[in-house]
Amino acid sequence: MAAGALTAEEILAATEGVLRRYGPAKATVVDVARALGVSHGSVYRHFPTKAALRAAVTRRWLDRNHAGLAELAAEDSPAPERLRRWLAALFEAKRRKALDDPELFATYTVLAGESDTVVAEHIDALLGEIALIIADGVAQGAFAPCDPQVTARAVLDATGRFHNPLYAAEWSAPEIDTAFGAVCSLVLAGLRATG
């Protein structure tokens, strides 16, 4: 591959393959360059450090696995229904990745631990989507008046068992869907406007 034709997306795709093959502890920029058939300097032209490359591949993975959440948050539908569907979509995206490809999920969990800024940006985006739904719910009269940002944080914290990778081992338990439904119902009941 000619170095001039190399794109950041090609590097990220190759990095994912290298991470899958060697794991996060052993994967190197040289391995990525070798997989692409270029010098490691070609990779460094796009990503100045190994940490920058790992952060970029983590961001790409998070964005790809949470595609559709922003659109769901922005839908014009009743906020309680939309919040439940949004939380279910987040849980399903995380669970699918953890159960369908546990080795790669574990790899990205390690990378996310190295990328505080990427994870913080991701959480901020999730909080913004929840806050949008909550603000709509308040405007619709479905949710009690509140600070949408503070309440969004409370909702994300309350549902952590269903999206935080620390709980991934529980996501295949037979009772997990019942537990998820119960937590969603409790959260929505807490948000409802009282008459």
Lowest mean pLDDT among 18-22, 30-34, 105-109: 105-109
CA distance 41 to 131: 43
**Of residues 30 and 115, more confidently modeled:** 30
- pLDDT by residue (tens digit) across 83-115? 999 999 999 999 998 888 787 788 878 877 887
Residue whose pair of structure tokens reads 């669970």 in the numeric block: 95
Lowest mean pLDDT among 3-12, 23-32, 63-72, 146-155: 3-12
Residue whose pair of structure tokens reads 């119960």 in the numeric block: 182
Residue 192: φ, ψ to 5°: -60, 140
Q: Please choose, from the candidates 107, 30, 44, the residue with its C-alpha nearest in 3D space to the C-alpha of residue 115.
A: 107
pTM confidence score: 0.84
CA distance 149 to 160: 17
Scored b (16 or more CB within 10 A) or e, 122-143 reads: beebbbebbbbbbbbbbeeebb
